[in-house]
């Protein structure tokens, strides 16, 4: 437990984030003083009034106030990181980086013309990032760059949200309603959603569409007729021949049927996700998934038989009760299936999840084990011919690690990269969906949010459309 006092600055939030990284490795009570005095930043760690460790750093000069502010923050964090490192002897794999988009730093420095050699040194010496994570960042940033440099002027991407799931997973914090409770509202939801899609198609008819992504919830929670209705409406609204990538996150295998896979194929969906999370039956039962491992294999094989040739599979490291053995098993099973994409998530304990409420009831892996699992999954994906192409981090991830998307060359998901790098506008439809209008190469981003509640979205759809209309006008 650390009591923080900030003197001469207001970087408390960022410094607290650094403290949280070290908390699992500390015992006892400490006082931490973080001080900015002129061009000197210092951190002092005390126990019952006695100074244990102390660090002082000089603020790098800058030619404008914004850069100078950034430099001050950086050294304040650096000094705190270093005293906590001295106390715990723990180097964090991501150093003092707490943001959710690690590759953004790489892109920013590269835009300033920094060479890879200088950039690597900066990531290591200033941010304290490990060599392995720097290698990963550089590789992913390069893959992202290859996708982003193909963005065309005025191009947009689309997101369509289906906020239903058969049951709620224990770790879920998304806008996802249990179908059991909301089944009788699905048709009204589709009425509203189709209305919003019609508006977007008309308003954005002159914009090329780089990627279209239907996510959720679980889009295949819709029954066959509902799914067909939605996909037919999309096909009638947009010229799909000009859509670069069309994905449905089919998601949970217990919602996927042969007929739904046929509908998706017939409606020109090019990429689907079949997300096992784990190939261990005991884990699937624990996390609240009402299907078997055999179901996953069966739907995957049907998808292949029907010609789905770009399939993603999500897995989660650190699921309750899972260790290295279980993760290895999951990856061996995926290898037999041979998907084009594997997305490896590290478990995050999200505030709105059941897992957070009942955390003490579940056995979760420690940071060192997660690190091993990440290493195993990276090796396994590479052995399957998949390379990392996008990456992000979340708050409260076990061990403070990362999520990484792997793909066979040419099968990288454009939408995933667009949403992470915020380099072009993403127009989003559905309950809780947030449209991001991107300008000036990502320098300015404006958001237009839809209401989250299902009932409000259905009842206030005209207002949501009006919000978009005004937003599109204003942010022209």
* Beta bridge partner(s), residue 391: 404
Cβ pair 307, 269 in contact under 8 A: no
Q: From 41-49, 82-90, 169-177, 291-299, give the range in contact with ligand SF4 by CB under 6 A.
A: 169-177
CB of 370 to ligand SF4, least distance (A): 19
Total residues found in the chain within this entry: 476
Residue list 138-167, contact with ligand SF4 (CB under 6 A): 165
> Should residue 276 be labelled a site residue for ligand SF4 when binding is judged by CB under 6 A?
no
> From residue 205 to residue 224, what is the string marking binding to ligand SF4 with x (rule CB under 6 A)?
-----------xxx------
User: What phi, psi does 158 have (nearest 5°)?
Assistant: -125, 145
Q: How far is the CB of 44 from ligand SF4 (least distance, A)?
A: 43
We find the least distance from the C-beta atom of residue 165 to ligand SF4, in angstroms, to be 3
CB of 413 to ligand SF4, least distance (A): 17
Query: What separation in angstroms does the CA of 416 have from each of 140, 252, 470?
Result: 12, 19, 27
Contact status: 168 vs ligand SF4 (CB under 6 A): yes
CB of 168 to ligand SF4, least distance (A): 5
Among residues 143 and 428, whose Cβ is nearest to ligand SF4? 428
**Could you tell me the smallest distance in angstroms from the CB atom of residue 106 to ligand SF4?**
29
Q: Which two tokens stand for residue 67?
A: 């850069």
Instruction: Write down the least CB distance from residue 271 to ligand SF4, Å.
Output: 18
CA dist 168 and 66 (Å) reads 44
Q: Based on CB atoms, which residue is closest to ligand SF4, 102 or 432? A: 432
- C-alpha 131/C-alpha 318 separation (Å) is 23
Cβ of residue 281: shortest distance to ligand SF4, in angstroms?
17
C-alpha pair distances (Å), 453 with each of 178, 450, 471? 13, 9, 21
Select 147 or 227, whichever has its Cβ closest to ligand SF4.
227
Q: Are strands 341-346 and 156-162 parallel, antiparallel or unpaired?
A: unpaired
Q: How big is the site for ligand SF4, counted in residues (CB under 6 A)?
A: 11
> 227-246 mask for ligand SF4 (x: CB under 6 A)?
--------------------
Token couple for 221: 């929670």
- Which member of 174, 362, 411, 475 binds ligand SF4 (CB under 6 A)? 174
Judged by CB under 6 A, the residue of 18, 96, 143, 176 near ligand SF4 is 176
Q: What is the DSSP string of 367-394?
A: HHHHHHHHHHHHHHHHHTT-EEEEEE--
Q: What is the DSSP letter of 442?
A: G
Contact 449, 472 (CB under 8 A): no
Output 204 or 345, the one with its CB closest to ligand SF4. 345
Report yes or no: 95 and 78 within 8 Å, Cβ to Cβ.
no
Q: How far is the CB of 43 from ligand SF4 (least distance, A)?
A: 39
Of 128 and 252, which CB lies nearer to ligand SF4 in the complex structure?
Answer: 252
Instruction: For residue 327, give the 3-state DSSP assignment.
Output: helix
Residue from 95, 251, 253, 339 that binds ligand SF4 (CB under 6 A)? 251
Q: Which is nearer to ligand SF4, 175 or 377 (CB)?
A: 175
C-alpha to C-alpha distance for 181 and 189, rounded to whole angstroms: 14
* Tokens at 164, concatenated: 């239903």
Residue 172 sits in the site that holds ligand SF4 (CB under 6 A): yes
Our CB check for ligand SF4 shows the closer of 32 and 355 to be 355
Concatenate the DSSP letters of all residues of 224-236 into one string.
Answer: HHHHHHHHHHHHH
Is the Cβ–Cβ distance between 417 and 411 less than 8 Å? no
Footprint of ligand SF4 (CB under 6 A): 165, 168-169, 172, 174, 176, 216-218, 251-252
């Amino acid at each position: 437990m650390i009591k923080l006092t900030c003197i001469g600055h207001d970087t408390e939030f960022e410094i607290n984030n650094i403290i949280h990284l070290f908390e699992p490795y500390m015992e006892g009570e400490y006082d931490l003083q973080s001080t900015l005095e002129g061009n000197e930043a210092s951190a002092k760690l005390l126990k019952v009034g006695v100074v244990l460790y102390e660090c002082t750093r000089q603020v790098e000069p800058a030619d404008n106030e914004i850069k100078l502010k950034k430099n001050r923050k950086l050294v304040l964090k650096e000094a705190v990181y270093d005293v906590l490192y001295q106390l715990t002897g723990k180097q964090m794999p991501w150093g003092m980086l707490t943001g959710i988009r690690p590759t953004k730093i790489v892109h920013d420095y590269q835009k300033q013309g920094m060479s890879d050699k200088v950039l690597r040194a900066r990531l290591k010496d200033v941010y304290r990032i490990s060599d392995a994570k720097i290698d990963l960042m550089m590789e992913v940033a390069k893959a992202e760059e290859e996708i982003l440099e193909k963005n065309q002027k005025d191009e947009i991407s689309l997101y369509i949200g289906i906020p239903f799931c058969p049951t709620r997973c224990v770790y879920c914090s998304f806008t996802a309603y249990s179908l059991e409770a909301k089944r009788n509202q699905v048709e009204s939801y589709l009425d509203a959603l189709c209305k919003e899609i019609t508006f977007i198609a008309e308003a954005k008819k002159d914009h090329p569409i780089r990627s279209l992504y239907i996510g959720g919830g679980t889009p295949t929670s819709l029954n066959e007729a509902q799914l067909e209705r939605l996909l037919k409406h999309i096909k009638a609204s947009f010229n799909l021949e000009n859509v670069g990538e069309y994905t449905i996150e089919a998601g949970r295998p217990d919602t996927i049927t042969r007929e739904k896979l046929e509908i998706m194929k017939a409606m020109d969906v090019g990429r689907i996700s079949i997300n096992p999370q784990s190939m261990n039956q005991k884990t699937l039962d624990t996390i609240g998934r009402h299907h078997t491992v055999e179901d996953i294999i069966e739907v995957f094989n049907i998808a292949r038989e029907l010609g789905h040739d770009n399939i993603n599979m999500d897995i989660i490291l650190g699921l309750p009760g899972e260790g290295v053995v279980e993760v290895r098993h999951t990856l061996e099973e995926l290898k037999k299936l041979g998907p084009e994409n594997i997305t490896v998530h590290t478990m995050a304990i999200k505030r709105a999840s059941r897992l957070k409420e009942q955390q003490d009831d579940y056995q979760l892996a420690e940071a060192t084990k997660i690190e091993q699992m990440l290493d195993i999954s990276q090796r396994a994906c590479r052995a399957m011919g998949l390379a990392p192409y996008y990456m992000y981090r979340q708050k409260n991830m076990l061990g403070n690690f990362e999520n990484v998307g792997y793909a066979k060359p040419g099968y990288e998901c454009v939408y995933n990269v667009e949403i992470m790098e915020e380099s072009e506008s993403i127009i989003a439809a559905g309950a809780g969906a947030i449209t991001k209008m991107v300008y000036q190469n990502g320098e300015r981003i404006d958001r237009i949010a839809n209401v989250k509640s299902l009932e409000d979205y259905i009842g206030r759809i005209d207002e949501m459309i009006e919000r978009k209309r005004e937003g599109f006008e204003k942010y022209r």
